[in-house]
């Protein structure tokens, strides 16, 4: 731990020194955002005692190569310029994040409700399961990204198309997971509930649903990644706002400084969402680790 602390702190101080002492061979924007990011990485290490030296060293190498003019000035601009975009374009970025998250929440929420509501009876009723699951197994492997251009073209609005694509990305894993787990629940659990005279609605929503919840939450992490991928693909085609729109807008003008900043923003949003989902999973399924 002492070695890791020394390494991270040394890289942090070295990166700060490079910014202020090493002359740049090209025009640079204000280094405030870049220095703030380095400070946040150092602070995160001190708080969590995690080994984040890989991130610091990557930024340091990027900065040094840029200052020595060893990177392409357009395709790989200096990190100071890239992170300065978070200041100059903060309003458009915030609007894009809010727009994308609204669509993601609408599509994901609808898919979860529908997937659980349909998966419960399909998994509970054997004959229905034998008919429906083979059809689901044929349709679910088709990546929503494949038919995203078609959906955007035929839907009455981009919002409806985006919600539909997100719905497809989240619905099938949720529905299949629900149906499989409901159909393979331990019969002793069912028998115990029957002995207690639990009604059919109570059996479905108080016994089977909690039993299936850990699997649903576990599959949701991957589903959210796919949903964001599909949403970004849709935004590249016909959006007027959003994370994908931000990248597409500036890539059309070959402004790769803003493009890279948009890509970094996407990664940050995805990482934050996955972290929140994992935290939510720990809260909702506390009994899973007991």
Q: pLDDT tens for residues 72-84?
A: 777 788 888 888 8
Average pLDDT on 136-158 reads 83
241 band by pLDDT with thresholds 50, 70 and 90 = confident
How many CA atoms within 13 Å lie on the side-chain side of 113? Answer: 6
Q: Does one domain contain both 153 and 285?
A: yes
Q: Does one domain contain both 123 and 252?
A: yes
Q: How far is CA 117 from CA 88, 170, 259, in A?
A: 45, 14, 40
How far from the centroid of its chain's Cα atoms is residue 119's Cα? 24
Q: How far apart are CA 96 and CA 91, in angstroms?
A: 9
Question: Is pLDDT above 70 for 242?
Answer: yes
How far from the centroid of its chain's Cα atoms is residue 286's Cα? 23
Q: Which one-letter DSSP state was computed for residue 204?
A: I
Q: Does one domain contain both 112 and 193?
A: yes
Q: Does one domain contain both 167 and 228?
A: yes
Domain closes at, from 40, 67, 88: 88
Q: Does one domain contain both 194 and 282?
A: yes
Q: Which one-letter DSSP state was computed for residue 24?
A: P
Domain closes at, from 59, 88, 117: 88
Q: Does one domain contain both 62 and 205?
A: no
Q: Does one domain contain both 105 and 151?
A: yes
Question: Is pLDDT above 80 for 135?
Answer: yes
Residues 6+ apart with CB under 8 A from 276: none
Instruction: Count CB neighbours of 164 within 10 A.
Output: 22
Q: Does one domain contain both 74 and 144?
A: no
- List the CATH number of the domain containing 252: 1.10.3720.10
Domain that holds residue 47: 2-88
Q: Does one domain contain both 16 and 133?
A: no
Instruction: Give percent above pLDDT 90 in the chain.
Output: 1
Q: Does one domain contain both 206 and 133?
A: yes
Number of domains, the chain:
2
pTM: 0.73
Question: Is pLDDT above 60 for 47?
Answer: no
Report the largest interatomic distance among the alpha carbons of the chain, rounded to a whole angstrom: 79
Question: Is pLDDT above 50 for 51?
Answer: no
Q: Does one domain contain both 281 and 187?
A: yes
Domain closes at, from 88, 104, 138: 88
Q: Does one domain contain both 156 and 233?
A: yes
Average pLDDT on 176-193 reads 79
Question: Is pLDDT above 70 for 22?
Answer: no
Please report how the helices 79-88 and 90-124 are oriented relative to each other, as an axis angle in degrees rounded to 10.
Answer: 80
217 band by pLDDT with thresholds 50, 70 and 90 = confident
Question: Is pLDDT above 60 for 50?
Answer: no
């Amino acid at each position: 731990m002492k070695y890791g602390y020394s390494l991270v702190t040394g890289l942090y101080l070295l990166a700060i020194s490079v910014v202020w002492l090493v002359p740049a061979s090209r025009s640079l924007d204000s280094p405030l955002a870049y220095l703030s990011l380095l400070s946040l990485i150092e602070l995160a290490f001190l708080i969590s005692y995690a080994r984040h030296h890989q991130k610091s060293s990557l930024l340091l190498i990027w900065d040094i190569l840029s200052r020595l003019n060893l990177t392409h000035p357009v395709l790989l601009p200096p990190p100071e310029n890239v992170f300065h975009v978070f200041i100059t374009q903060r309003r458009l970025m915030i609007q894009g994040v809010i727009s994308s998250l609204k669509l993601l929440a609408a599509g994901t929420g609808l898919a979860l409700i529908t997937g659980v509501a349909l998966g419960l009876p399909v998994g509970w009723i054997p004959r229905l399961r034998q008919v429906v699951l083979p059809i689901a197994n044929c349709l679910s492997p088709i990546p929503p990204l494949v038919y995203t251009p078609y959906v955007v073209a035929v839907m009455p609005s981009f919002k409806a198309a985006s919600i539909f694509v997100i719905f497809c990305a989240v619905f099938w894993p949720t529905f299949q997971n629900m149906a499989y787990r409901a159909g393979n629940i331990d019969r002793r659990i069912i028998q115990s509930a029957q002995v207690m005279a639990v009604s059919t609605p109570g059996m479905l929503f108080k016994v089977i649903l909690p039993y299936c919840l850990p699997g649903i939450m576990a599959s949701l992490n991957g589903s959210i990644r796919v949903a964001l991928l599909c949403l970004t693909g849709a935004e590249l085609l016909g959006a007027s706002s959003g994370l994908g729109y931000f990248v597409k807008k500036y890539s059309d003008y070959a402004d790769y400084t803003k493009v890279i900043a948009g890509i970094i923003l996407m990664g940050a949003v995805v990482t934050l969402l996955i972290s929140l989902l994992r935290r939510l999973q720990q809260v909702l399924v506390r009994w899973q680790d007991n």
